[in-house]
Amino acid sequence: DADVTQTPRNRITKTGKRIMLECSQTKGHDRMYWYRQDPGLGLRLIYYSFDVKDINKGEISDGYSVSRQAQAKFSLSLESAIPNQTALYFCATSEGRVGYNEKLFFGSGTQLSVL
Amino acid sequence: GQQLNQSPQSMFIQEGEDVSMNCTSSSIFNTWLWYKQDPGEGPVLLIALYKAGELTSNGRLTAQFGITRKDSFLNISASIPSDVGIYFCAGLTGTASKLTFGTGTRLQVTL
């Protein structure tokens, strides 16, 4: 079984709909992250969390929200989806220890299309 | 924010050839990492570099942390079909646990 699991793998939705992407991990890591990947732009950080109920904005947090109610789960919500939020979304985890916290473990991604 | 420029953006090579790609920044980084993304999967860490001038190998892959701390290089020797994917560099500065990712180099290997 995958250590970092994202659901769903694919989602098509309409403009204005509320969408939630789920991430769960069995690695026991404290730190969790949501990234967005767009062709030619690499990976950009949306939100990150260092512990349960700890939430921090990343580079491109506008239009998104997150929830960290348990160590193993970190969900990403789009309150009112818009077409330019069409992208590949990745959840990642890392340990909190110095020398390890930069080593991210990624899920397989969720391809979101907003029509 | 900080920007990392990767080059080339894409490469088409023949099996058995060596590959070189690099990542440059306008800012100094304390740590450089290289990730590979297979088609349909998330990125996987290949190599981590922590010291200016450091040269580290992982099988056929060799990466270097540039002396200026503003660049890093990845070489793949004797490429094989499973090397296909997108290679990302990532830099970390200070004590933040937020990486800055490069734009990626897409590698295609032909038989």
Question: pLDDT at position A114, please?
Answer: 97
- B interface with A, Cβ–Cβ below 8 Å: 1, 4, 6, 9, 31, 33, 35, 40-45, 48, 50, 88, 90, 92, 97-99, 101-104
Antiparallel, parallel or unpaired: β A31-38 and A105-106: unpaired
Residue pairs spanning A and B at CB distance below 8 A = 56
**CA-to-CA distance for A104 and B90, rounded, in angstroms?**
11
Chain B residues whose CB is inside 8 A of the A45 CB are 98-99
CB B85 within 8 A of CB B105: no
**pLDDT tens readout for residues B17-48:** 999 999 999 989 999 999 999 998 999 999 99
Of A40, A45, A90, the CB nearest to B42: A90
Look at residues A14, A28, A2 and name the one whose alpha carbon lies nearest to residue A78.
A14
CA angle (B27, B32, B38) in 5-degree steps: 120
CB-CB under 8 Å, B9 with A45: no
The pLDDT mean for chain A works out to 93
Question: pLDDT at position B97, please?
Answer: 61
Question: pLDDT at position A16, please?
Answer: 97
Spell out, as residue ranges, where chain B has pLDDT lower than 70. 1-2, 94-97
Q: Does A97 touch chain B (CB under 8 A)?
A: no
Question: pLDDT at position A96, please?
Answer: 74
Question: pLDDT at position A103, please?
Answer: 87
Chain B residues whose CB is inside 8 A of the A35 CB are 101
Establish whether the linkage from the previous residue to A83 is cis, with ω within 30° of 0: no
Q: Does A7 touch chain B (CB under 8 A)?
A: no
**CA-to-CA distance for A22 and A77, rounded, in angstroms?**
9
Chain A residues whose CB is inside 8 A of the B97 CB are 31, 48, 50, 94, 101-102
Question: pLDDT at position A41, please?
Answer: 84
Question: pLDDT at position A42, please?
Answer: 87
Establish whether the linkage from the previous residue to A8 is cis, with ω within 30° of 0: yes
**pLDDT tens readout for residues A57-101:** 998 999 999 999 999 999 999 999 999 999 999 999 998 776 666
Dihedral over Cα of B64, A40, A25, A64: its sign: positive
